[in-house]
Amino acid sequence: MSGAFEKVYQESINDKEGFWKKAADAVHWFKKPDTILDTSNSPFNRWFVDGEINASYNALDVHVDAGRGDQAAIIYDSPVTDTKQTITYSELLDRVSRFAGALQERGVSKGDRVVIYMPMIPEAAVAMLACARIGAIHSVVFGGFASNELAVRINDAKPKLILTASCGIEVKRVIEYKPLLDEAIELAEHKPDATVVFQRPQATAELQEGRDFDWKTVEDNAQAVAAVPVKSTDPLYILYTSGTTGQPKGVVRDTGGSVVSLKWTMKNIYDTEPGEVFWAASDVGWVVGHSYIIYGPLFSGNTTVIYEGKPVGTPDPGAFWRMISEYNINTLFTAPTAFRAIKKEDPDATYLAKYDLSCLRTLYLAGERCDPDTLYWAQDKLGVPVIDHWWQTETGWSIAANCKGIELLPVVAGSPTRPAPGYDIQVLSEDGEQMEAGDIGALTVKLPLPPGTFIDLWNASDRYVSSYFSKFEGYYETGDAGYIDENGYIFVMARTDDIINVAGHRLSTGGMEEVVAEHPDVAECAVMGVADKLKGQIPMGLIVLSDTCTRDEDEVIKEVVKLVREKIGPVAAFKNALVVKRLPKTRSGKILRGTMRAIADSAEWKLPATIDDPEILDEITEALKAAGYAQD
């Protein structure tokens, strides 16, 4: 190791203002900030407080002005509609400028909110960038979200306008958005002034006279407008994330911090250069879509990819390999669950041999813990560095990462490597004491958080403080549990409430999942703590078998139980496992362990708004009942 990373990291901790001033000098300001950091009202710390900036200008105008307007800004590939399109920076600037003008013509101005309820099509990017161009605050809601959940977000954000499309498209069905939106507006107390609907050929939406407007007509007839300078501290967007109370939390991201931090990460974490093709295989409805489909790559001058498809089934497990080969993709960023899906259907990676992947330099995984088995499989099949990194909706970019653009550190399975520059991570006990190396505790970040992290919750500042900053004074509580080893590597073992207490022993369900996933017949698994009268809690494993497995289920379960006993010890009390066809997940790929735990314990639970397929929970409930859990 050269020591380059350690030097940069220490600078970011010991001279925070100097470090981020240097990063801020690399972006375009209408008024450069004199005050880099204001900590006078912590935890409401503010970066670049007296600066003026515009995110749309930094994403588009900067590159066109530099003579790179003919470079591809967006590659759109939709295997579900058999559509492909490339949009240059000049073309995107023209569309965004005109659509921003259309928003202004409908009364949208700086500080107004606009809800964007869209599928994975280029118009979603146009909508986001157009809002940013005039200082409006966008709130993207995952396309196809249920009407009542959309209504809750409409009531909270109080949008002046809602932008949508006539439909979204899944592998085997068309989901009409307009009826869902109409019902949401009916349910909501707040009513938007208007909606603008992008009509797709797969379904035509009925437009309500005087309220609903056709997107193409609106955009074609609008006058282009210039980018409006906004304060660095002005909100760029609100992104709602699920809350433990059932009331979603509107994470607020500021403009200046987002531009500075995301551009910095593109080079220093992801090792990309302007002009290279960067693909975050996610959705614009999630934080990854905001940071690394839209804003980060465009701030950096990359070509970004909007993909309307799946890792498998559109049409086969070679879908990602086709994309990489066809578009000369240098960097792929996706969730471990995508690779587990590919591995389950094509464990020998036979589809990989059909494509030339020599352009791919690095695979980044995030969104949930990456089990070592998935990491090793990806390393073996792709032959490139596979880098796990850890971050959250609240942080907007990596809390911990292997910063390949600074120095590639040794990859250690199960670890997202070291804290990213700007993050002073501490492991604390329940009473706030620092833990020894290797001991599990609450993963926290010493304040101030770096630029680009959330600055508040929309209309809920008290909740911002109570949810994240009240338990450990002077620290951000991530809600994740884990440890830091003697080399400074972080291991994120589980959500804090997934650390189970077995007869007084605190054990990580994530650690058990790593062992279970090692079994060659296990494609995917989840371990959760279920109530036990004698020991308080005991671990329960749910296992999805590989498509190639032909062995008896009971034999596989016996071997899995034996593996956990050998690698973790009898103290884990891991004796119960069930084979299921599939695991319930959110649309972003996170396994719904908490919901399954509540079902097993016969506790009250609420259907998660973000669930991908609600019918899976019925299957899980029946399996748990058959095993003696989930009693009515």
**CA 484/CA 153 separation, integer angstroms:** 37
pLDDT tens-digit series, residues 568-610: 766 667 888 899 998 988 776 778 888 888 888 888 877 777 7
- Are 380 and 358 in contact by the 8 Å Cβ rule? The answer is no
How much is the pLDDT for 399?
98
What pLDDT does 602 receive? Answer: 85
**What percentage of the chain carries pLDDT values higher than 70?**
95
Give tens-digit pLDDT for 475-493: 999 989 899 999 999 999 8
Do 338 and 362 contact (CB within 8 A), yes or no?
no
Mean pLDDT within 34-58: 98
How far apart are the C-alpha atoms of 378 and 369, rounded to whole Å? Answer: 15
Q: Are strands 362-365 and 329-334 parallel, antiparallel or unpaired?
A: parallel
| Pairwise CA distance, residues 605 & 309, whole Å | 31
Cα 337–chain centre separation: 13
Lowest-confidence range among 11-20, 194-203, 538-547? Answer: 538-547
Q: How far apart are CA 91 and CA 549, in angstroms?
A: 50
Question: Secondary structure of the chain: what % helix, strand, coil (to 5)?
Answer: 35, 25, 40
Q: Which residues are CB-neighbours of 285 under 8 A, at least 6 positions away?
A: 140, 141, 142, 143, 145, 587
- Cβ(5)–Cβ(269) under 8 Å? no
Determine which helix (DSSP H) or strand (DSSP E) holds 165, and give its type and residue range: strand 161-165
Of the candidates 411, 108, 396, the one whose C-alpha atom is nearest the C-alpha of residue 263 is 396
- Return the SS3 of 419: strand
Residue 521 sits at φ, ψ, to 5 deg, of: -95, 0
| Confidence check: pLDDT of 246 > 90 | no
Q: H or E element: which one contains 178?
A: helix 177-187
Q: Which residue has the tokens 């931090």?
A: 261
Residue 534's pLDDT is 65
140, 284 Cβ separation under 8 angstroms: yes
Residues 401-411: what's their mean pLDDT? 97
Nearest Cα residue to 596 out of 610, 581, 607 = 607
Question: pLDDT tens for residues 283-323?
Answer: 999 999 999 999 999 999 999 999 999 999 999 999 999 99
Distance CA 88, CA 201 (A): 24
Structure confidence at residue 261 (pLDDT):
98
- pLDDT given at position 588: 66
**Per-residue pLDDT at 535:** 64
Average pLDDT over residues 132-145: 93
Which residue spans within 41-82 are E strands per DSSP? Answer: 46-47, 52-53, 72-78
| 498-533 pLDDT tens trace | 666 665 555 667 778 888 988 999 999 888 888 876
Do 262 and 397 form a contact (C-beta atoms < 8 A)? Answer: yes
Q: What H or E segment, with its residue span, contains residue 55? A: helix 55-56
Q: What is the mean pLDDT of the chain?
A: 92
Which DSSP symbol is given to 311?
S
Report whether 352 contacts 342 (CB < 8 A). Answer: no
Residue 52 has pLDDT above 60, yes or no: yes
Q: Which residue has the higher pLDDT, 288 or 2?
A: 288
Which residues are 584's β-sheet partners?
none
Tens of pLDDT along 200-229?
A: 999 999 999 999 999 999 999 999 999 999
Per-residue pLDDT tens over the stretch 160-197: 999 999 999 988 889 999 999 999 999 999 999 999 99
Does residue 16 sit in helix, strand or coil?
helix
| Residues 451 and 421 sit within 8 Å (Cβ to Cβ) | no
For residues 209 and 382, give the distance between their C-alpha atoms in angstroms, rounded to a whole number: 53
| Range with lowest mean pLDDT among 129-133, 250-254, 618-622 | 618-622
Percentage above 90 pLDDT, the chain: 73
Q: What is the DSSP string of 179-191?
A: HHHHHHHHH-SS-
Closest CA to 423 of 441, 442, 450: 450
Its pTM stands at 0.85
Domains annotated on the chain, with CATH: 503-626 (3.30.300.30)
Does position 376 have pLDDT exceeding 90, yes or no? Answer: yes
Q: Identity (one letter) of the amino acid at 483? A: Y
Among 221, 324, 222, 261, smallest CA distance to 47 is for: 261
Question: Looking at residue 569, what is its pLDDT?
Answer: 65
Q: Is the pLDDT reported for residue 268 higher than 80?
A: yes
Per-range mean pLDDT, top range of 421-425, 574-578, 624-628: 421-425
Helical ranges in 498-552 per DSSP H: 509-518
Res 121: pLDDT = 98
pLDDT beyond 90 at 352: yes
Which of 267-281, 333-347, 598-612 has the lowest average pLDDT?
Answer: 598-612
Which token pair is 456?
A: 């508040």
3-class DSSP assignment, residue 28: coil
Q: Which burial class, exposed, middle or buried, applies to 430 when counting CB atoms under 10 A from its CB (0-12, 13-18, 19+)?
A: exposed
